[in-house]
Each structure stands twice: as C-alpha cells, then as structure tokens.
C-alpha cells in the first residue's frame, strides 16, 4: 500500500528529500506531494547576487529543476500553495492556495518541514517604501533586476555587511553604482573576527565602496512618489536610489512551533541526527538548528549546502535507508570582487562564548610561490585550544585563489587535529599552486609555537 | 664550548637545517659549515620550468637566499666544495674543491647529509650530444635558457611524461616550440592511473603537444656539429632541435652508503623519525627514503616541500629541540598550461602493490556552480579500502581551480577518514567557489556507495 510523503517547501531540502525518497522507494510505494508558496522550485538563492551583478546572465540558470521537471519525475508539486497548520495527532496539514484562498486538509504518513528562513527586518520608519529590497527569494531578485532596469539608480545603500551585504555590494559595484554599506558592528563581516574584518573593510574601500561601521540604519527618507531617497544612520543621511536589506535571516519555524514541535535556543526546529523532529515528521534546511561539533551548541546556519545534505538524509531515511547528519563546524566562503573570505570552526567571540581557552595567531602568505607571476596575498588566522593545541577555527581573507584553502582547515577541524599535527602535513606543492610551505602549514606552525613555545622541548 | 655542524648540500634541506639550528642555538654554541658543490644555495628547483617558459623572468627570483646572505646570517658556506667521504668513526668529512682540487679533512659533531638526487640517465647512444639537457639544477636551467636564446629551436622532444616532462612540455609550448613528449608507459603521467593519464594525454594533445606513449627513447641522432638532430624511439625518428630529459631522479646516497649508513629498498638513506641516520648524523630531502603512512613502505619522493620540512626538523633536533617527521602520503600537484593534476595517497597500482583490496570510482564535476561564468570541468577519482571504506587515494585532473582540492583529500587521508565519513563534511560553498555539493563530497559519496551499496541499510 502506498504511503504519502508531504513536503512543505519546494527548495533545496524539500525537493532533495522528495527526489531522494522517490528514487529509492519501490514502485507505487510512495506518493510525494510538495507544497510551495512561491513561483519556483529548486533554485540557487546563493546565486541571486550574481544574477543581479550580471555574472549570471539568465535567471533560469539559477533554477536547477522547474516544477514541471519535478512533476515529470513523479512528484506532485503544488505551486503557490502553503500549509497553514500541522496536526500531529490527526497527521494532516491544512493547505491554502496563496492566490485563490482555497483550503483543504491533506493527510500524511511522512511529513517534511522545509520552510526555510525569513529575513530579519527591523521595524524602521519608511521600511515599506519602494526601492527597498530583500534578497532572500528569486522573486525578490527579480524585483531588484527589474528595478535596476527601470530607472537611473546611481547610489545604492546596502544595510548589513554580512554574506548578503558584501555580495550585494559587489553586485552594485559591478553594475557601476556608487555603493555604501552600513553595518552596526565595528568592522564589516562579523562572521570573522574584527581584525580580519578590518582587512575586508580596507579591501572594500579600495574597490570604491563606502563602508560605514558602528552605525545602524535608523530609518528611511521617502519621496513624494513613495520611493526611498535616503537611509538615515545615526547622524548621517545617506542618499539612496536603491536600498538592499542584508540583515540576515531567522528560521521560519512558526508552523512547527504551533504544531508543538521543539524549537531550540537558536529559533530553529530541533531534530535528532536523522533529521526527525517527531515520529514520521522530518525537518531540514534553513528552518532547523543543527549541532556544532566544536561547541556542542545548537546553531542556526542558513546555507544551501546544509539544506541539500538534510534533504538527501531525510529522503534516504523515509525510503527506509539510514542517513545521519554529523553536524556543522561553521564553514563558509564568500567574496567581494577579487577579495575572498573563508572561515571554519569558531571565531574568537564564538570560542569565548563556548568557554574555550585559546590562542589566536595570524600569518601572511602568498597563494603561490612568491615569484610566480599570479602570486596573491592572503592573511590566515588560526585559533587553537590552549594546552591541547586542538584547532578550533580558521579564517582567511585574501585575493583570488586563497579562499578555498579553508576546506583544508575544515577537514582538519572535522578530525580534531592539533595545530602541531598539522605542521608537517603532506599538502601539495608546486610553484603555481603554493609556496613550498603552504599558508595552511605556516599558520599551523605559528599557532603551535604559541601553544608550545618557540622550540618544542626535547623529550630526551 | 662550541660544537661544529657540517652540512653536505646547500639547498632546501641543508640550508633550512643550518638556519634553523643556528637560530635556536645559544650564542657561540654552534659553528655551521655548509659544503655546496654548485654555484647556488637555497633555490627553487621546482621553479626552473617556469623560468625557462618565461613565466618567471629572472633567474634570481628562484633563489631564496644567496651564499652571501647565508654568510651574513653566520653560516660558513663553502661553495664549489664537495665531500668525497664520510668517516663515522673519526667523525670527519673529506672535502675537495671542485675547481681547484684542494682537499682537506673537516671534523664534525653533527653531520647533515642533504646531497639531493641525481637524474636517471639511461645509457643511450648519442646521449652526450649537445642540445640534450636535464632539468635538475639551476646550472642546467641556465644551460637551457642560454641554448634557447642561442639558436632557432623549432622542435623540442621531451623524454618522459612525469612532473618534469609535462612541465617542460608546457615551457616549450609557451615559447612557441613544436613539442613532442615520449613516454614508455601506455599513458602519460604514471603518477596517476592510466584512466586519468588518458585525460592528461587528451588535454595535452588539445594544446598542440604530440604525445607518444608505449615507446621508449632508444637513442639520439647527432649532427656533424655534435648537436642532437633527432630522438629515436622504436620505429620512429623524432626530429629535434633540443631534447629535454625528464626521466626522474634517484637518491644521491653513494657517499652515505660508502660510509656504512643504511640504504633502503628505494635507494634512499634510512633515518629514524627525527631524520637521524646514525648518532649525530642526520639526513633529509631528496637523498632519503621516508615512510608512507598508508603502505608503511619506505619510499623515495623528491619534493621541495618534504626537503624543507626535513631541514627544519633536523635543525630543531640539532638545536636540542624535538622534531619528528610524520611520513608522507604521496601528495603532489602539477600543471600543463591550464590543466591541473593533483594526487594524494595511493594509485591503483600502488594500492595493489601494498596489498590493499579497494574500490575505485570517478566523478565529473565543476570547479564552481555550473552556472558561474568561470566554471571549469574536473574529474576526480577516489580509491577506498573495500569493507572499511577508508580513503586510500585521490586523483584530480581538471582545468584551472581544480587541482588544489587535492589538499582536502590529503587531510582526509592523513586522518584515516572513511569515504562515508567524508560524505557530509562541512566544506565551504558559494557559487563562485564550488557547486552546492563540492566535487570532494560527490566523489566521496560515490565511493561510499561502491563500498556499502546504493542506499545504506537501515540499522533499525
């Protein structure tokens, strides 16, 4: 007898869960229904800034699979359709058509909650003016692209200097728009430590971006036509033809909370390692919290790569297999023009908050042999636990070719390596690819010295 | 009372050992004498092909530190000076001036053997003709640069398609010279498996390089002027205005062997983990054999990165500290024009020779999100031990931006990870840097399926 899998949200986690489960289920064993509030399925939200910048010319390039393609694969995708309630007892979902308002009840055997995240929007005066945009959905991306095409937008203000903030700053600069970024923290990009953030500020300023820090956006000036004309930030008035809000996101977990599922301190739905929130109820992606392997804490990290993993794990489990999510270590990468930013593990603030005693060191290195014509500079910061020397975190800020080295640190953190163990690791070397001592090794060595002293003592 | 450290060989291992020891020794505690047969110290042999290609315009860019600079640091560097014998009983070295033939005895308290490697030169007819060059030393690099400047060299033949072979093929192509590579194995670049070598062949042919495999160079035709005119290879005569020999190297361990030090099956000097070959006698770099962490075998790997590590470890130990070399896993990287080649761990041949049962799988992926304008293709091959799934090796052949991912595999191999454990690792993702599933994860997942079956069984 066929069982019904109902999926709330048709993006990374939801569609990946649906596809994986259906692929592994026996013929006719599984009926899969996906409810998606928006107009699109399976698209790369992370790619939106690059569509706006023009790097990616066509919106459809961001769409991995359309509703029609999913239907051809046997998935009952219902677009512009949302769930308004979950009844865990009756095992039903209340469904509503976004456009027509029609409602009905839908029973499920397995439920996947993949409702994503919602943007953090402070209640600022004038925030509903025209010309102010978020960048969470493809629909919002479309609005920005249309708006930029519609008129002469000479000055952009980006509120928030995190991932979306810096990526949208790049997009604006690439489009030739005079760009100002406003960030309430002392340095941009609080996903790295302030000393690394200062390097990002310097580089962004070198690209012609005005970076205003230690200042919050307080409100917006609005013209008679209802369109934003400026961002007010402290004593400053920043004229703006367009405003991008990049203040981050929080889990969209209200439906799950109302149904009685456990919500963690991060605001995300709590699941077990198999991404199960209650018997037969699964949750993944931007609406859940996951375990940080270093701090042990539940954290909310909205990233497509985790969302896709969750979807595959959920689909595997629903199909009768075994999938378990091993947690996260906070790895991420971004760029502003040719400046690359990578991080993994804990920053100083995060390490201190988790209770770790640590040493922190930074080194400068080149991406290739110093004499190689394409050599670029990078700064690598490493945190190691005091006494044990266990690698707790790494941050990279550098030019082209530096950022992806963060994956080496990520793999080392994943395995609980000490910086001393890393010092003589067999990493690849040839002049076009790294100095004879790769930056990873140099940083590990300096951190090991901090932990153990300049010259390791003889044991004999 | 001062003790004397004598170093044989003034390149990576030797000078690094000398500098490290002197930096950490107390004032006046250590006298350091370095004997160097050639004209240069501390240069990047790996950079020579890129000087010849013109990527690196000036020879001196390859020299990290000149004899004069080392002397300023307090090291007694004796150039054009070689050791002809080591007496372990009397603790002396017999020294000879290369140019003047003067000889003397030099006592040592600590001896560092860093005599490097010598090229593999088969006894071929005509091999001493003009226009045939090795690429082991800066002196040889100089000869090539001079020879290319001296006359009209339209056709080059490179004998051997290993690291030096492919890098020199690139150098010749970049200089506009019609280039043929001759390799006795069925596919070029036997440091990777033949299926990956076939991809390299295809790419090299796409660059206009003629790749002849399954054929050995048998001898050389020599003109009346004493200069090479062709390479004879099987039934083929390959006209050549210049010939580059790239048949690899073997440890230069004769002096050590004559002194009674142990030589391993690889031909390299055997040391303990601290790089000590006998009490107070240390050896490192291209003249030693090192432990392979996967096979357990002693292997000879001539690479600047190991040589530098050995030097630092030896210097630390001589200064009274503790340094231990943790072994190698065969990580390496190279490129031919925009084709990047990375490897770590064991190839199929090496795994079989070590007695491992394994599964081997390959995947294709892109360096960035597929829709990113700079997306490049790569093939990633992974070997995992059967039943355990332990990662045994990885090979990457791809275009720009693919090769350095080998370090992620190297770190995973170093830590004994299984491919299953790697499947959900927290690696960095953003569209300009990788697909949402990085190639490393895709390759690991496919290998895990091979080990465990398509869908992991439920344990419940």
pLDDT digits (tens, 9 = 90+) for B12-68: 999 999 999 999 988 889 999 999 999 999 999 999 999 999 999 999 999 999 999
Closest residue, chain B, to A331 (C-alpha) = B428
A-B Cβ pairs (cutoff 8 Å, strict): 231
Res A1: pLDDT:
62
DSSP code at position A64: S
CA dihedral A156→A160→A161→A165, nearest 10 degrees, is -60
Q: Is A287 tagged catalytic?
A: no
* pLDDT tens-place string over residues B432-453: 999 999 999 999 999 999 998 7
Residue window 344-373, chain A: list those with CB within 8 Å of chain B. 344, 369, 371-373
- Percent share of chain B, pLDDT over 70: 98
Nearest to A371 among B62, B325, B457 (CB): B62
DSSP A40-59: -SSB-GGGHHHHHHTSS--G
Fold of A3-46+54-118+249-318: FAD/NAD(P)-binding domain (3.50.50)
Fold of B332-451: FAD/NAD(P)-binding domain (3.50.50)
Residue window 38-67, chain B: list those with CB within 8 Å of chain A. 44, 46-47, 50, 55-56, 61-62
Res A122: pLDDT:
87
Task: Provide, as residue numbers in chain A, all residues whose Cβ is less than 8 Å from the Cβ of B322.
Answer: 456-460
CB distance from B459 to chain A under 8 Å? yes
Residue A328, token pair as written in the block: 């996260």
Res B121: pLDDT:
84
Give the range among A119-123, B97-101, B357-361 with minimum mean pLDDT: A119-123
- Give the Cα separation of A368 and A172 in Å (integer): 30
* pLDDT tens-place string over residues B142-193: 999 999 999 899 999 999 999 999 999 999 999 999 999 999 999 999 999 9
- Residue A182's contacts (CB-CB under 8 Å, 6 or more residues apart) are A157, A158, A159, A160, A161, A212, A215, A216, A217, A231, A233, A238
ipTM above 0.90, yes or no: yes
Res B122: pLDDT:
87
3 state DSSP class of A323: coil
CB distance from B290 to chain A under 8 Å? no
Task: Tell me whether residues B433 and A344 touch, CB distance under 8 A.
Answer: no
Do A433 and A439 meet the contact criterion of CB atoms below 8 Å apart? Answer: no
Nearest to B404 among A61, A425, A433 (CB): A433
Task: Provide, as residue numbers in chain B, all residues whose Cβ is less than 8 Å from the Cβ of A459.
Answer: 322
Average pLDDT rounded to a whole number, residues B366-390: 96
Q: CATH 3.30.390.30 spans which residues of chain A?
A: 339-452
* pLDDT tens-place string over residues B204-255: 999 999 999 999 999 999 999 999 999 999 999 999 999 999 999 999 999 9
DSSP code at position A61: G
Res A366: pLDDT:
98
- Give the Cα separation of A167 and B139 in Å (integer): 49
Res A27: pLDDT:
83
Residue window 169-198, chain B: list those with CB within 8 Å of chain A. none
CB distance from A412 to chain B under 8 Å? yes
- Selected catalytic residue, list A24, A46, A78, A215: A46
CB distance from A419 to chain B under 8 Å? no
Average pLDDT rounded to a whole number, residues B420-434: 97
Res A455: pLDDT:
61
3 state DSSP class of A233: strand
Closest residue, chain A, to B49 (C-alpha) = A431
* pLDDT tens-place string over residues A285-327: 999 999 999 999 999 999 999 999 999 999 999 999 999 999 9
Residue window 114-133, chain A: list those with CB within 8 Å of chain B. none
CB distance from A456 to chain B under 8 Å? yes
Which segments of chain A have a pLDDT < 70?
Answer: 1, 454-460
Domain A339-452 belongs in CATH node 3.30.390.30: yes
Q: CATH 3.50.50.60 spans which residues of chain A?
A: 3-46+54-118+249-318, 121-245
- Give the Cα separation of B219 and B359 in Å (integer): 40
Do A144 and A52 meet the contact criterion of CB atoms below 8 Å apart? Answer: yes
Residue window 196-215, chain A: list those with CB within 8 Å of chain B. none
CA dihedral A293→A294→A299→A305, nearest 10 degrees, is -50
Q: CATH 3.50.50.60 spans which residues of chain B?
A: 3-118+250-318, 121-247, 332-451
* pLDDT tens-place string over residues B270-285: 999 999 999 999 999 9
CB distance from A408 to chain B under 8 Å? yes
Optimal mutation site among B428, B439, B455, B460, interface A, most CBs of chain A within 10 A: B428
Distance from CA of B222 to the nearest CA of A (A): 35
Distance from CA of A77 to the nearest CA of B (A): 23
Task: Tell me whether residues A434 and B404 touch, CB distance under 8 A.
Answer: yes
Fold of A121-245: FAD/NAD(P)-binding domain (3.50.50)
Nearest to A431 among B47, B404, B428 (CB): B47
Task: Provide, as residue numbers in chain B, all residues whose Cβ is less than 8 Å from the Cβ of A342.
Answer: 428
- Give the Cα separation of B94 and B255 in Å (integer): 11
Res B133: pLDDT:
96
Choose which CATH entry (3.40.50.2300, 3.50.50.60, 3.90.1150.10, 3.40.50.11540) describes domain B3-118+250-318.
3.50.50.60
- Selected catalytic residue, list B46, B145, B297, B427: B46
Q: Which of B278, B336, B335, B275 is nearest to B306 (CA)?
A: B275
Optimal mutation site among A275, A313, A368, A428, interface B, most CBs of chain B within 10 A: A428
- Give the Cα separation of B397 and A394 in Å (integer): 28
- Give the Cα separation of A395 and A3 in Å (integer): 47
Q: Which of A167, A116, A157 is nearest to A336 (CA)?
A: A167
Task: Provide, as residue numbers in chain B, all residues whose Cβ is less than 8 Å from the Cβ of A407.
Answer: 405, 407-408, 427-428, 438, 440
Choose which CATH entry (3.40.50.720, 3.40.190.170, 3.50.50.60, 3.40.50.300) describes domain B121-247.
3.50.50.60
For residue B397, pLDDT beyond 60: yes
CB environment A21-42: b (16+ within 10 A), e (fewer) = bbebbeeeebbbbbbbbbebbb
Beta bridge pairs of residue B112:
B7, B282
Task: Tell me whether residues A411 and B412 touch, CB distance under 8 A.
Answer: yes
Task: Provide, as residue numbers in chain A, all residues whose Cβ is less than 8 Å from the Cβ of B141.
Answer: none
């Amino acid at each position: 007898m066929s069982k019904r899998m109902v999926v709330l949200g048709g993006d990374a986690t939801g569609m990946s869960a649906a596809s994986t489960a259906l692929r592994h289920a026996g013929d006719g064993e599984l009926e899969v229904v996906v409810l998606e509030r928006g107009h699109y399925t399976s698209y790369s939200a992370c790619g939106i800034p690059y569509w706006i910048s023009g790097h990616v010319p066509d919106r459809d390039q961001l769409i991995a699979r359309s509703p029609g393609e999913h239907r051809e694969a046997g998935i009952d995708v219902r677009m512009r359709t949302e769930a308004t309630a979950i009844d865990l007892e009756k095992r039903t979902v209340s469904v509503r058509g976004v456009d027509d308002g029609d409602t009905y009840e839908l029973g499920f055997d397995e439920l996947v909650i993949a409702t994503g995240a919602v943007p953090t929007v402070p209640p600022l005066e004038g925030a509903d003016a025209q010309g102010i945009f978020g960048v969470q959905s493809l629909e919002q991306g479309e609005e920005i692209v249309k708006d930029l095409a519609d008129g002469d937008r000479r000055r952009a203000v980006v509120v928030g200097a995190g991932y979306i903030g810096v990526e949208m700053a790049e997009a604006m600069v690439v489009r030739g728009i005079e760009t100002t970024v406003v960030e309430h923290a002392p340095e941009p990009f609080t996903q790295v430590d302030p000393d690394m953030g200062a390097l990002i500020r310097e580089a962004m300023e070198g690209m012609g971006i005005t970076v205003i820090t230690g200042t919050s956006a307080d409100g917006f000036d609005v013209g008679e036509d209802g369109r934003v004309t400026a961002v007010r930030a402290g004593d400053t008035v920043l004229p703006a033809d367009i405003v991008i809000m990049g203040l981050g996101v929080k889990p969209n977990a209200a439906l799950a909370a109302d149904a009685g599922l456990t919500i963690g301190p991060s605001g995300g739905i709590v699941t077990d390692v198999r991404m199960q929130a209650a018997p037969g109820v699964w949750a993944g992606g931007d609406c859940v919290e996951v375990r940080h392997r270093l701090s042990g804490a539940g954290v909310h990290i909205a990233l497509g790569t985790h969302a896709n993993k969750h979807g595959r794990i959920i689909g595997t489990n629903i199909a009768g297999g075994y999938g378990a999510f091993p947690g996260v270590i906070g790895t991420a990468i971004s760029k502003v023009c040719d400046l690359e930013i990578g991080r993994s593990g804990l920053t100083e603030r995060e390490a201190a908050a988790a209770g770790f005693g640590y040493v922190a060191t930074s080194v400068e290195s080149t991406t290739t042999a110093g004499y190689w014509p394409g050599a670029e500079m990078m700064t690598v910061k490493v945190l190691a636990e005091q006494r044990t020397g266990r690698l707790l975190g790494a941050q990279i800020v550098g030019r082209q070719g530096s950022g992806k080295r963060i994956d080496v640190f990520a793999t080392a953190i994943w395995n609980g390596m000490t910086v001393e163990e890393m010092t003589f690791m067999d990493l690849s070397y040839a002049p076009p690819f790294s100095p004879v001592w790769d930056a990873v090794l140099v940083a590990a060595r300096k951190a090991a010295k901090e932990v153990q002293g300049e010259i390791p003592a003889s044991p004999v």
